[in-house]
Structure 1
Amino acid sequence: MTHSITKNALRALLYEVVTQPKPGLVDPVSSGPHFDMNIYTFIDSSLSLTNYFISAENIGNTFNGEDLTQMFFTLRKQGMKAEKEMFTATKGVNTHKGAIFALGIFVCAESYCQNKHTDLFSTIRQMCAGLVEHDLKLNNHAQTAGEKEFLCYGAGGAREQAEAGYPIVRDVALPFLKERRGTVQERLLDTLMKIATVTIDSNLIKRAGNYHVIAKLHRQANYYLQIGGAATNAGRNYLAKLNNQFLAKNYSLGGCADLLIVTIFVALERNYF
Structure 2
Amino acid sequence: MNRRKKGNQILKARAKKANAKLAPKNKPRYISKAERAKLAEEAAKDPKLQFSINEDKPADWFEPLYAKANIDGEGVPWANMSTQPLFKHWLEANELQGKDKSALVVGCGLGDDAIELEQRGFSVTAFDVSETAINLCKKRFPESKVEFIQADLLAELSQWHKAFDFVLEIYTVQALPPKYEAQLIDNIAAFVAEGGHLLVIAEVSNEERQFENGPPWLLTPEHVDAFCHRGLSVEQRLDNDGALEAKAGSYITLFKAQAL
**TM value normalised by structure 1:** 0.27
Give the greater-gyration-radius structure (CA): 2
Name the structure, 1 or 2, with higher relative contact order (CA <8 Å, separation 6+). 1
Q: Which has the higher strand share?
A: 2
Q: Which has the higher helix share?
A: 1
**TM value normalised by structure 2:** 0.28
